[in-house]
A and B are shown apart, each in its own frame.
Chain A
Amino acid sequence: MDSFLQQLINGLALGAIYALIALGYTMVYGVLRFINFAHSDVLMLGAFAAFYLAPHITPLLGVQSVPSALVVIIVSAAICAVIGMTIEFLAYRPLRKRPRLTVLITAIGVSLFIEFTGQHEKVFGAATKSFPTLLPKREIILGALHCSSNDLVVLVLTAVLLVAMWFIVQRTKIGMAMRAVSFNEQAASLMGVNVNGIISFTFGLGSALAAIAGIFYSMRAPGIEPLMGVQPGLRAFIAAVLGGIGNLPGAALGGVVLGLLETFLGGMPGLSNYRDGIAFAMLILILLFRPAGLLGKLSTEKV
């Protein structure tokens, strides 16, 4: 029972990270109807931004202190938001009226470009680097349950971010504009919505979330390298499709489901080797029975 709870917390923390990344995929899909393959690389850039920022920021605000961790996370998220908006402006905006397949291939090109540039020795280098400890790691003991403080921090912060996202999308004017653009771009622009601005904002928001997820992911992973985004990116993409792409609660649900499944099934003896395949197998099974994803049909409103 204890090991079950232990695994549950592990799975939830992993799922929370997937959910954060999946939100970015789903929001971009909502406004532009295409899969932003470069999203997983923005995640990697977020982790690297934190990696290079931490040595400069921690001396000012205290090593392994909460304020310095927060500043690192916020600044990295801001950098990635700018990167995401730049990618959209340079690579995707000129293709707005073209077939979606064209945009998809461009996205793959952007993703490969970031990965290979990152692997160049003058940029990040292909070798794995150890990620700085942003927060002191403590074992928290609840009865017989041992869990890492980092897992709890990730869980709480993700929950806060999910609520914040819900608030932005459902309760603010810009969120209303996002929903309008996703519902009908042309009608939205006739109503005075600045479509380009909204799409830019969506990319920025999604990329910031990806950067935060990248930092969380690196806090749990042994090290960071330029291809680190690929696996979590794929999983998060699956999570987004699983929940019904374009649907925000769906992405969060898909992420958590996937994180839990991966932790529990991957922990079983004999199945651990198939960890990489489990996520895809689940996806295919679910799509066979619910082609629009878990929550895809329940809500007609897509963001």
Chain B
Amino acid sequence: MRGKEKSFLLLAIAAAVGLSLGSGMFNRYYLGIAVDVGINIILAVSLNLINGHTGQFSLGHAGFMAVGGFTAAKLTLTCGSSVPPAFQPFFFFAALLLGGIVAAVGGLVVGVPSLRLRGDYLAIVTLGFGEIIRVIFQTSEFFGAATGLTGISKLTTFGWAWAFAAITVYVVACIVNSTYGRGFIAVHDDEIAASAMGINPTRYKVTAFVIGAFFAGIAGGLYAHHKLVLKPDGFDFVKSIEIVVMVILGGMGRTAGVILAAIILTILPELLRGVAEYRMIIYSLLIIALMLTRPQGLFTFGKKGPVK
């Protein structure tokens, strides 16, 4: 089983990098959307670990994304010019990693109050952390205050985005399907029963937050070097909701469904560009209609999955 997953990972990375090398052939607009899709897959799959597999309710994923994005972008902005071109990819990788690690530390800070809070209270606290992070970036001169960071170099390519998407899917799948990872699902199903079986729910919750935040941070770094402009406003509550909707639409705890949802929800607004003024109205109606008709997620067909 593990061998199959590993070959999937290598194949996916190879395909992503290979396609990326030939990216000159494709329309730049479509390529940009493809990168967006990759970044959103990372965000949705990592949030799925917290909200889906572990059964917590985080509304602050955009905050972690902001932490990673601003950290990575600041690093490439300040030291980018002194790095020789040959080492640029390694440097970019290091910057992304640093962004992820700083975001993971943020996840640890958010994870600690989650030890005591459940459900709605946890949701509002994560929302609060997300907003506090945004306010900090908005007021910090170091990160450009309200105007944010501009002039970030274009380092994110199709290959980077999709390779990291593959890594995220692989890591989350491996964690959840491992013996250790069954604990996440146990915490999701019944916290009391899980702790009676010797599983420490607190530890699992914090682990989920840290891993989820790490990948959100990496997605933030990729996003920063894709959009080239980073504004604190872009990481508000609405952005977090967007990611939550992807997870819900795909079906909580269903990795394949969540990936599909991330793809559809990234492409859909582009398709609706023709009716731009009604775009968001249609989007919100879609959420309501979906919850009324298929609350278990669009791509859940009673198939056996990791989570019932």
Contacts and interface: CB of A to CB of B under 8 A. Distances in A.
Interface of A: 29, 34-35, 91, 94-95, 98-106, 108-110, 112-113, 116-117, 119-121, 234, 237-238, 241, 245, 273-274, 276-277, 280-281, 283-284, 287-288, 291
B132 A277 contact: yes
B291 A113 contact: no
Given A34-B120, A284-B128, A109 B287 contact: yes
B281 A277 contact: no
Contacts of B278: 120
B70 interface: no
B129 interface: yes
B8 interface: no
Contacts of A120: 277-278, 281
B116 A291 contact: yes
B284 A105 contact: no
B139 A273 contact: yes
Contacts of A121: 277
Contacts of A276: 131, 135
- Which of A113, A241, A245, A276 has its CB near the most chain B CB atoms (within 10 A)? A113
Q: List 7 tightest A-B contacts by C-beta distance, closest first.
A: A109-B287, A280-B128, A277-B135, A112-B284, A113-B284, A116-B280, A109-B288
Nearest to B288: A109
Contacts of A238: 124, 128
A291 B120 contact: no
B171 interface: no
B241 A108 contact: yes
B132 A94 contact: no
A117 B284 CA distance: 10
Interface in B111-158: 113, 116-117, 119-121, 123-125, 127-129, 131-132, 135-136, 138-139
B245 interface: yes
B285 interface: yes
9 contacts: A95-B292, A95-B295, A99-B295, A106-B292, A241-B121, A245-B120, A277-B132, A287-B116, A288-B116
Contact of B119 (A100, A106, A116): A100
A15 B288 CA distance: 32
B283 interface: yes
A17 to B, nearest CB: 20
Interface residues of B, number: 38
A283 B245 contact: no
B124 A237 contact: yes
Contact of B113 (A29, A35, A109, A287): A287
B250 to A, nearest CB: 13
Interface of B is mostly: helix
B230 interface: no
A300 to B, nearest CB: 18
Given A113-B281, A274-B135, A277-B135, A102 B288 contact: no
A280 B124 CA distance: 9
Contacts of B284: 109-110, 112-113, 116
Given A102-B295, A277-B131, A284-B129, A112 B280 contact: yes
Interface string B212-253: 000000000000000000000000011001001100100000
Contacts of A95: 291-292, 295
B287 A284 contact: no
B285 A113 contact: yes
A113 B284 CA distance: 5
Contacts of A280: 127-129, 131-132
B244 to A, nearest CB: 7
B57 interface: yes
Contact of B124 (A101, A117, A283): A283
Contact of B281 (A104, A106, A116, A291): A116
Nearest to A101: B57
A283 B135 contact: no
Nearest to B122: A287
B124 to A, nearest CB: 6
B248 A105 contact: yes
B113 A274 contact: no
Contacts of B120: 29, 34-35, 100, 104, 241, 245
Contact of A284 (B113, B135, B283): B113
Given A100-B119, A117-B281, A281 B248 contact: no
A112 B295 contact: no
A105 B246 CA distance: 11
A283 B291 contact: no
Contacts of A106: 287-288, 291-292
